[in-house]
Amino acid sequence: MDLSPLWISLATSVTATAITFVFGLAAAVWRERYTGPAMALVDGIFLLPLVLPPTVVGFLLLLLFGRHGPLGKLLLQFGATIVFSWPATVIAAAVVAFPLMYLTSRAALEQVEPALLQAARTLGASEWRVFREIALPLAWPGVLAGTILSFARALGEFGATLMIAGNIPGKTETIPIAIYFAVEADETQRALSWCAVDVVISLALLSGLYYWTRTQGLGRARRMAR
């Protein structure tokens, strides 16, 4: 059996999660401070990929990155085409996972008591140090949950990926897409195998998260009770 969908799926999800982690967290930090008039609009735009059907997201991305799209044209000047290539799977996965990272880490950051950040500022800390040493560690469980959710969402991404990256075996064929086309071609056995792989990965991820938070929580409680 050709294992390439597994490697493509893992590579895509890891890369997309890394990108989403940075942008989602940055957006959450920025949005926490931004109190301008366009708040509702900004929120709406950030959450759009969560509420729109993946096919709509995929089609919009296709318009954006296609030969005649604004970003597509720009990239073409550097000789790069995104559509129907591996980076397209990453873009699709990152975009649909973004709202989960943004929402979860924003909620976690909002839980951090503002006086702690203010205290750090009066003690001479730069905004970066306030974030790095106070806000992020205290919001960490939530930020981590957001990262895991994003990874899971990226791993399961199907609709937008199919629209913008297509199904090119060995290149853009991820596990969900492989399953779809296996069923389409009446290869039940192949479809079932990939389903099993997906279930194993998801279970491993969730139970790993469970044990990790448990030991973290315990270690932390033990340390702080000293």
Partner 1 sequence: MALDVQIEKELPDFQLNVSFCASEAPLSILGASGAGKTMLLQCIAGLQRHGRGRVALNGRILFDSEQGIRLLARQRRIGMVFQNYALFPHHTVAENIAFGLNGLSREERAARLSALIARTHLEGLTERYPQVLSGGEQQRTALARALAIDPEALLLDEPLSALDTHLRSQVEAQLQEAFAAYRRPTLLVTHNIEEAYRLGEQLLVLSRGRVAAFGPKEEVFRRPPTREVAQLTGCKNFSRARMNADGSVEALDWNCRLRAEQTISKPPAFLGIRAHHIHFVESMPEGASSENVLPCWLVRASETPFRITLYLSLRPPLAETSAYDLQAEVFKEKWQRFRDLPHPWHVRLSPDSLFLMPE
What one-character DSSP code corresponds to residue 132? I
Task: Check residue 110 for interaction with partner 1 (CB under 8 A).
Answer: no
Q: What is the largest distance, in Å, between two alpha-carbon atoms of the chain?
A: 66
- The total number of residues shown for the chain amounts to 226
Nearer to partner 1, 133 or 184 (CB): 133
Return the residue of 121, 141, 195, 213 that touches partner 1, per CB under 8 A. 121
Return the residue of 44, 45, 110, 118 that touches partner 1, per CB under 8 A. 118
132-151 binders of partner 1 (CB under 8 A) = 133-134, 137-138
Task: Check residue 223 for interaction with partner 1 (CB under 8 A).
Answer: yes
Task: Check residue 226 for interaction with partner 1 (CB under 8 A).
Answer: yes
Report the alpha-carbon distance of residue 138 to residue 190 in Å, rounded. 45
167-186 binders of partner 1 (CB under 8 A) = none
Q: Torsion over CA of 149, 150, 151 and 157, rounded to 10 degrees?
A: 110
Report the alpha-carbon distance of residue 61 to residue 86 in Å, rounded. 14
Report the alpha-carbon distance of residue 53 to residue 176 in Å, rounded. 16
Task: Check residue 222 for interaction with partner 1 (CB under 8 A).
Answer: no
Helix H or strand E segment including 56: helix 54-65
Nearer to partner 1, 117 or 163 (CB): 117
Nearest 5°: the CA angle 110, 112, 118 is: 110
Task: Check residue 123 for interaction with partner 1 (CB under 8 A).
Answer: yes
Report the alpha-carbon distance of residue 127 to residue 117 in Å, rounded. 9
Window contacting partner 1 (CB under 8 A); options: 65-73, 77-85, 117-125, 175-183 = 117-125
From the CB of 151, what's the least distance to partner 1, in Å?
25
Residues 152, 202 contacting (CB under 8 angstroms): yes
Handedness of CA 54, 56, 60, 65 (dihedral sign): positive
Nearer to partner 1, 1 or 123 (CB): 123
From the CB of 22, what's the least distance to partner 1, in Å?
23
Report the alpha-carbon distance of residue 197 to residue 204 in Å, rounded. 11
Return the residue of 26, 113, 188, 216 that touches partner 1, per CB under 8 A. 113
38-97 binders of partner 1 (CB under 8 A) = none
From the CB of 95, what's the least distance to partner 1, in Å?
33
From the CB of 150, what's the least distance to partner 1, in Å?
24
Report the alpha-carbon distance of residue 216 to residue 222 in Å, rounded. 10
Chain residues binding partner 1 by CB under 8 A are: 113, 115-116, 118-126, 129, 133-134, 137-138, 223-226
